[in-house]
Amino acid sequence: MRLILRALLVLLPWSLRRRLLTMLYGYELDPTSHIGLAWVFPRHLVMAAHTSIGHLTVCVHLDRVELREHATLGRGNWVTGFPSGTDSPHFRGEPGRRSELILEEHSAMTNRHLIDATSPVLIGRFTTVAGFQSQILTHSIDLVTCRQASAPVSIGAYCFVGTNCVILGGSNLPERSVLGAKSLLNKSFDTPLQLYGGVPARAVKSLPPDAAYFMRVNGFVE
**CATH number of domain containing 47:** 2.160.10.10
At 198 the pLDDT is 98
- pTM recorded for the entire structure: 0.96
Candidates 58, 216, 200, 47; CA nearest to 128 is: 216
Q: Which domain holds residue 112?
A: 2-204
The answer to whether residue 87 is domain-embedded is: yes
Per the CB < 8 A criterion, the answer to whether 155 and 178 are in contact is no
Domain assignment of residue 22, yes or no = yes
Instruction: Answer whether 112's CB lies under 8 Å from 76's CB.
Output: yes
- Those residues whose C-beta lies under 8 Å from the C-beta of residue 98, and which sit 6 or more positions away, are 63, 64, 84, 119, 120
Question: For residue 185, how many other CB atoms are within 10 A of its CB?
Answer: 25
CA distances 80 to 26, 112, 133, 148, 215, Å, are 20, 13, 15, 16, 32
Instruction: List the chain residues with pLDDT less than 70.
Output: none
Report the domain count for the chain. Answer: 1
Q: What is the pLDDT of residue 97?
A: 96
Is 78 part of any domain? yes
Coil, helix or strand at residue 8? helix
Distance CA 20, CA 9 (A): 8
The reply to whether 128 falls in a domain is yes
Q: Compute the distance between CA of residue 88 and CA of residue 102 in angstroms, rounded to an integer.
A: 25
What pLDDT, on the 0 to 100 scale, is given for residue 1? Answer: 80
What confidence score (pLDDT) does residue 86 get? Answer: 92
pLDDT of 20 reads 97
Assigned domain for 178 exists: yes
Q: Are 180 and 197 in contact (CB under 8 A)?
A: yes
pLDDT at 16: 97
At 222 the pLDDT is 85
Task: Confirm whether 113 is domain-assigned.
Answer: yes
- Provide the 8-state DSSP code for 2: H
pLDDT at 205: 97
Strand partners, 115: 79, 136
Q: If you count DSSP H runs as helices and E runs as strands, how many of each does the chain have, helices first?
A: 2, 25
Distance CA 134, CA 25 (A): 30
**Which helix (H) or strand (E) is 185 found in, with range?**
strand 184-185
Pairing verdict, β 178-179 and 147-150: unpaired
